[in-house]
Chain A
Amino acid sequence: MNTIETLIPDNKGNHLVVVLYFYDEIDKRHTFQIPEDYQNLEIADINIRKLDLEKPLGLKSLFKLCDWLIDQFMMFPNAIFSFICSMEDLALRHSAITPEEYRWKLFEALYHRSLKRLQSLDINSISIIVGPEGYQADARIFYRPRHSSIVHIVESHLKNKYR
């Protein structure tokens, strides 16, 4: 397992922990059915957590998070990044919505805030919604235009195999 991690201070006493988890060859070949032509492709899953779960988090750390993720993406020219929304409970509850809805809305707000920069860097994105009502998982994929064919292959595989 290969990971890259960073700790981002919010300058108010809390931190964000961010980890990129690179899927291994078995996952790439068997789970995602990546063809052999794309053996050098890397797929990294984004993991984000507040270090002190009981304390609020300063907004600036979220903006720094976006900068760090974009920098990492640019450092890996042959990578696709995914964000699979965690379903873990939240220490500070937002009772009107579920924890995963809260996380997803926050991530999407950051995504839309970064959209112009992503577009200027030619970084594409799609969201994936899995499941009927009662079981729903949300994810977002970031990729370069030259990898769009592989995203379509995986999309087709997911739709056909996992129907």
Chain B
Amino acid sequence: MAEKLIGKDIAAPDLLAKITGRARYAEDFRVDGMVFCKMLLSPMPHARVRRIDASRALAMEGVIGILTADDVPQVEPHREPVLTNEPVFEGQPVLAVAAVDETTAADAIEKIRVDFEPLPFVLDPLDSLRPGGPDAHTHGNVRVDGEWRRLKWSAADFAEAGDERLPMGEATAEWSLGDVDRGFAEADVIVEETIVHQSLTHHPLEPRTSMAYWQNGKLYAFTSTQSTQRTRGALASALDMDPEDIVFVAEYCGGGFGSKISGSTLMQLPAIFSRKIGRPVMLRITRYDENYIGRARPGFQGWVRMGLRKDGRVTALDLYLVEEGGAYGSGDYGTAGNTAHLMYQPENMRFRAVSPYTNTPPKAAQRGPGGAQIVTMLEPIFDKAARELGMDRVEIRRLNAPGPESTFGPRETPLTSVFAREALERGAELFGWEEKKRLSGTRSGSKLTGVGIGLSPYTAGSRGYDGLMVIRPDGKLYVHQGIGNLGTHSIADTARPAAEVLGLNWDQVEIVWGDSSQGLPRSSVQAGSQTIHAHTRANHAAATDARRKIQEIAARTLGGTPESYTMDGGRVFRRGNPGQGMSFAQVARRAIALGGRYDGHEVPEGIHAETVPSVGRVAGQGLVGVARDDYGGEGAIYSWVAGFALVEVDAETGVVEVKEYTGVADCGTVVHPRSLGAQILGGSIQGMGMAMTQRWVFDPEWGVPFAKRLYTARPPGMLDVPLDLRWDALGIPDPQTPVGAKGIGEPPVGAGAAAITSAVADALGGRCLCRTPLTPDIILAELEGRRTFGRLETHVG
């Protein structure tokens, strides 16, 4: 391939609109007759609504209507309803009121009397597992094989563990590979720790606002979401309607980090409310609402035992995770177990986990779900083993990292490609590991220096989606993207292979996205860092289809075989005779005249049913390229980031200052360097916040959260980021995909976070506090031998 575009810095086409404010996010839309709604949130962590008296609110001037749990689709108790009469977390929406403006709606909410009956609640999953402990749901505290259970451990389980070690009763998930006892028997060094990882909210800049109205039986829905076409599908399925009856608009998204993968449950609300009152309804989610309904990464209480031979190989890994499941459950623990195995390739491993429901806001994927937490928790413990063995920390990681033949997880999954060792080597070189590691544990004044490493893998691709594009009579290529514009530039970057295949310059390419009425193909969800991989493939396939059709039209028009034609700069011409050819504009007109499969009136076999009507929408606009990604492939697609950090811990204040950070990625071919750098460093910084500052705090007596404003939740700020930030990517293509690119959104989070937890432990002479976030109080209390939070306490602050 000519590769005029791959690997270049090209600004995304939405940049100007974002900078000038012209970009319309969900809350910027206004339509005639639109009303605003506000929600009444549950004041209790678990309650039952006994009675609602809305008469005073409904009598107010300007109040249009009320929507309660009785008006929304009924779902099973473990699924999140739009509105509920049995809230299972403080802040859960109970009802909504629509009014001519928001202040009226808010005043009306306060006039509604809701009689709540408080029910037992639980914040800490271990409390739910205690004998006689409370259950977060009236049906039980865990779900096993699709059934509710009340899982309680014995008093002996708790007594045996004491206050310092994780109690480990019956697990609900368990797998092992090899024989972990034998592995420990073979080990020369065994390290064991109890760990606590906090829960933290996503805090995207844009809250999950939605607006909706109905016209001629069609639903017009506007929302903030990471994906587009798949969010439309999710909305259709929630409302039990045909996706084709929804005009779905989501052109911009102010961040999601996993919390808006296919929209949110609440995006149904304006649609349902609008249907009830016959007016367009806007639900502007505030920062406060967002805190409750905007999802969170689940926290863990964990226990790990790791055995290593003298040569540095991990012989055994025994891992037990108690996950805080939140109001509607979570599955981060599964990925955490697999990731632990992938990272260290232990010869024997046992994994156990339990994820009780808790009366805390719902959990969801957060950038590297499960993986980021486990890397952050395990890396400093792994360092401890390296220290005991007297081995270099880069070397011991290289030694245990997977290679081309490696597999991971209980199903022994292979990988499409892995260059983790190379990433470590390149990172060590760029960071200056050999020189910096000499600073490890040194003290200057009150400052203790530490260096740390986080090697973090995460999923990075998927296969089998559709590409759809049109060359219109203006001669330009219109790439129809069903993917969402979640702020990563993938909306444009995944179209680059199409331009390359068709020999187009970038200014001859237009991106069509964010509005389902324009005809968008079946796409992946924008999650799991899969987009660059999945959709460079899909667009490559569709462009290849278009290329073939262009060649055919040229051959039909100008004679010769299709193969004898090539193309460049918007013209198709005879190989060796550029004068004999036609412009793409001419090709497009010819395609329309020919009809059939050339202009989309005939749909090829094998494309997804959801793409078929979209092809219908573009049919007749020009030459249509449409195809499914049939490139195939075997094994899981993973990218890696090796993060290196140098920190200074002030022994007199407990403050950690990150002085230097380097992140090096194994993510295949680099499509857009500047954007890639933003992902590697941006993700790493998000990880630093997870390791150092960000948290959620609950009052244990009342079960309500506190750190619910940005200034108390403390995502990292400018001054928490080192000035010396470096990144690089190996640029080794994945052999199984035509463009060679793998995703990068998620792996950096674990790398950034683990580099910090590892570096802080290093600064403290190898002492792993085994708790995040590493706030000054916890570090200082440890150094000064002061009282601090309990070993297993969660939600602290």
Does B bind A?
no
Residues in chain B within 8 A of chain A (CB atoms): none
